[in-house]
Structure 1
Amino acid sequence: MTIRIVVADDHPIYRDGVITSLEETGEFRVVGTAASAEEAICISEQKHPDIALLDMSMPGGGLSAVKAISAAGSAKYVAMLTVSEDDETVANAIKFGATAYILKGVSAANLRKILKGVAVGEPHVSPSLAAKVLTFMTQPSNREPDSPLKELTLREKEILRLVSKGQSNKEVANALDIQEKTVKHYMTTIMGKLHARNRVEAALIGHDFWKEKE
C-alpha cells in the first residue's frame, strides 16, 4: 500500500529533498506540499493524507498546525520533522497530537522506516530526545495555569476587581478618580479580552478568579 503524505516546510530545497527521498522507493506518494502552518492545515483538509509531515519552525508555527490538523482529523497521523531539541516543544507537539517527532539529521532510509511505522500508528521520538522528554512530561509542574485575566493590564484588573465587587461604573470612577466614560471604555476592552458577552459575565469571571486567590 502506498502511503499518502503531505510535506510542510518553508525551505523549498530541503522540502524537495524530503519529497525525493520519500518517493524514490515507491512506498510513499506526496499528495500535497505547504510552506506555512496555514497552508499545511488547508492542504490536509483537502487531501486527507495518511501522514502530515510538518516542520516545527515554518511560518505560523508547527505546533499550531499539529494542533489544528489533529483536532480536525484531517490527517490520519501527524509527524514533526525539525531541528528543535527543546524538551518542552517536543512534549507539546506530542500533547497536541503528533505521533512522531523526528530530528532533521535522520537519514533518508531511517525517515522512510519511521514514517512506515507512523502510518500504522507506531509512535516515535528520536532516541536522543526520548529520555529527557519522558522526564519533562512526568515531573511535577511548578507553573501555575494561565490566568483568565492574563491579557489585562494592571489598570484593567484594578477596574474589573471593583466591578466584580458590585460597584457601578460611577462608583469605580469615583474610587479611581477618573471619568465614568473612561470606565465604560475600559470595560469594553476588558469584555473583549475576556470574551465576555456583557458586563455581568466579566464581573463573574473576575469574582471567581479573585475568590480562588483568597
Structure 2
Amino acid sequence: MRNVTVAIVDDHPIVCEGLAKIVSECEEFSVIGVAVTASEATALTLERRPDLLILDLNIPGGGMSVICDLARQATGTRIVVLSMSEAPDDVIGALRLGAAAYVLKGTGGAELCAILRAVAEGGCYVTPHLAARLIAAAEPPKAAAGHPEDARMLSKREAEIYALVRQGCCNKDIGRRLSLSEKTVKHYLTNMFKKLEVRNRTELALHAPWI
C-alpha cells in the first residue's frame, strides 16, 4: 500500500498525541499535522492536502463546519469522524455532508488502523452497532411497499454491487469478487448515484436497506 498522509483534529492534546502515536506505528501512515479548531482544521487540510483527516465533531467551531468547508473545496481528503456521539443526527449529518467514515472513540488502535486502510482504499465505514441502529430505523416509503421503486431502478449487476458496498467493500474488492475492473465498478457506482440521487457510497449504503 502507498504511503498515506493523515491529519488529526481534536481539541484535547492527549487525544491528539495518542492518535498520532497509534497511526504512526502503522508503517503505511504518516501524520503530517494536528489541529484543534475548525478553522485550523480547514486551513491545515487546504495547505497540506492529507489523504485522510481524523476529525472530532466536538471542537471549537464545530466539526460539521469542517466537513462542509472541505466538501465545497473538493480537496480529495477523505474524512474519518472519530466521536463520542452516538446521536443519529450526528452520524447521518456527518455522512450526508461527505464524511467517509463515522467511528466511535473507544475503538482499539489496531481496528482504527484497519478502518483507515479501508477508507484510504476507497471504502466507507460506520461503527457496526450504529449502522445497525440506523438501518433498523429506516423505513421504505409507503409507495414502495412490496416492490420498492429503488429496487426496480437497479439492474442485477448494480444490485450485486450495492450489496457489496453495504458490506464495506472498496472498489478493488468489488471488482475482484465480480470479475470487473475498478474502472467498470466506478462507472456502475456513478450511474447508481444518479439513479438513487445520492452523492457518495456512504449515502448509497444507507439509502435503501430494503433493496
Which TM-score bucket, shorter chain as reference? 0.5 to 0.7
Q: Distance in 1 between matches of 2:9 and 2:76?
A: 13
Residues 26, 113 of structure 2: 8 Å contact kept:
no
Can you list the C-alpha shifts for 1:126-154, whole angstroms capped at 9, x where unaligned? 011002223456577xxxxxxxxxxxxxx
Instruction: Give unpaired runs (5+ residues) of structure 1.
Output: 141-214
1:143-182 correspondence to structure 2 within 5 Å: none
C-alpha contact 1:52 1:75 (8 A) present in aligned 2: no
Q: Does 1:73 align with 2:74?
A: yes
**How many angstroms does 1:27 deviate by?**
1.6
**Deviation at residue 76 of structure 1 after TM alignment:** 2.4
Q: CA RMSD in A?
A: 1.5
Identify the residue that residue 36 of structure 2 maps to in structure 1. Answer: 35
Counterpart CA distance in 1 for 2:140 and 2:60 is 31
Normalised by the length of structure 1, the TM-score is 0.62
Partner of 1:114: 115
Q: In the alignment, is the contact (CA less than 8 A) between 2:101 and 2:125 conserved in 1? A: yes
Which contiguous aligned blocks of 4+ residues in structure 1 show a shift greater than 4 angstroms?
Answer: 135-140
Shift, 1:84, TM fit: 0.4
Equivalents in 2 of 1:23, 1:17: separation in Å? 10
Once the 2 structures are TM-superposed, how far is the Cα of residue 21 of structure 1 from its aligned partner? 0.3
Q: Find the counterpart in structure 2 of residue 54 from structure 1.
A: 55
- How far, CA to CA, are the matches of 1:50 and 1:100 in structure 2? 13
Measured against aligned partners, the alpha-carbon deviations of 1:29-73 in whole angstroms (never above 9, x if no partner) come to 011110011110000000111011100101111111111112212
Identity %: 35
Tell me if 1:125 matches 2:160: no
Which amino acid in the other structure matches residue 90 of structure 2?
T
CA displacement 1:158-197 (0-9 Å, x = unmatched): xxxxxxxxxxxxxxxxxxxxxxxxxxxxxxxxxxxxxxxx
SS in 1 for 2:112: helix
Report deviation, 1:26.
1.7
- Tell me the equivalent position of 2:16: 15
Cα 1:24/1:121, change in 2 over 3 Å: same
Give TM-score scaled by structure 2 length.
Answer: 0.63
Of structures 1 and 2, the one scoring higher in RCO (CA 8 A, sep 6+) is 2
Q: Give the structure with higher Rg (CA).
A: 1
Instruction: State the secondary structure of the residue aligned to 2:75.
Output: coil
Cα offset, 1:104, TM superposition: 0.6
Q: Is the 8 A contact 2:8 2:55 kept in 1?
A: yes
Q: Which residue of 2 aligns with 1:177?
A: none
Count of residues in correspondence between the two structures? 140
- Closer, same or farther: CA 131–73 of 1 in aligned 2, 3 Å: same
1:4 and 1:119 map into 2 onto residues whose CA distance is: 10
